[in-house]
Amino acid sequence: MRYVLVVILVVLFGYSLAMVLQNGTELSVDLLFTQVPAMRLGLLLLLTLALGIVLGLLIAVQVFRVFQNNWEIKRLRKDIDRLRKEQIQTAQLAAAEAAAHTRHEKTVLDIDANEHPSNPL
């Protein structure tokens, strides 16, 4: 894979060099803040291509970061829903156990009261 990347880079460099050499026409360029009196057309093409690639990569990274954040938010929301359901089930189980324990204590107290009736004096 590394060799394929090196070959592609060499081919792109060669193509860029040939483009600069073939497009030798000089022209003036207005860059909004400054003006270049004479620049080769091939060099101008390469500069605009490089600028477009850099800006495209920066925008793509930002867009991917937004998508990645959205995916992470969705995953975390699913985790929160799952944990809430587990928490509700645990609370219901604890409440049922507490109710059963309370019923058991009441039954034991009723039995003890029936076995030892108190004498009102």
First-last CA distance in the chain = 101
Higher pLDDT, 54 or 32: 54
CA neighbor of 16 nearest in space, from 42, 39, 54: 42
Q: How far apart are CA 64 and CA 34, in angstroms?
A: 34
Which residue stretches of the chain are H helix? Answer: 2-22, 41-115
Q: Give the pLDDT of residue 89.
A: 94
Angle made by CA atoms 30, 23, 9, in degrees to the nearest 5: 100
Q: Give the pLDDT of residue 31.
A: 78
Inform me whether the pLDDT recorded for 62 exceeds 60: yes
Q: Give the pLDDT of residue 115.
A: 58
Residue 12: pLDDT band with limits 50, 70, 90: confident
Q: Give the pLDDT of residue 11.
A: 92
State the average pLDDT over residues 61-71: 89
Q: Which two tokens stand for residue 113?
A: 């009261």
> Which pLDDT tens digit goes with each residue over 71-120?
999 999 999 999 999 999 999 999 988 888 777 666 655 665 555 555 55
Average pLDDT over the chain, rounded to whole?
Answer: 84
Its pTM stands at 0.52
The residue ranges of every structural domain in the chain are 2-115
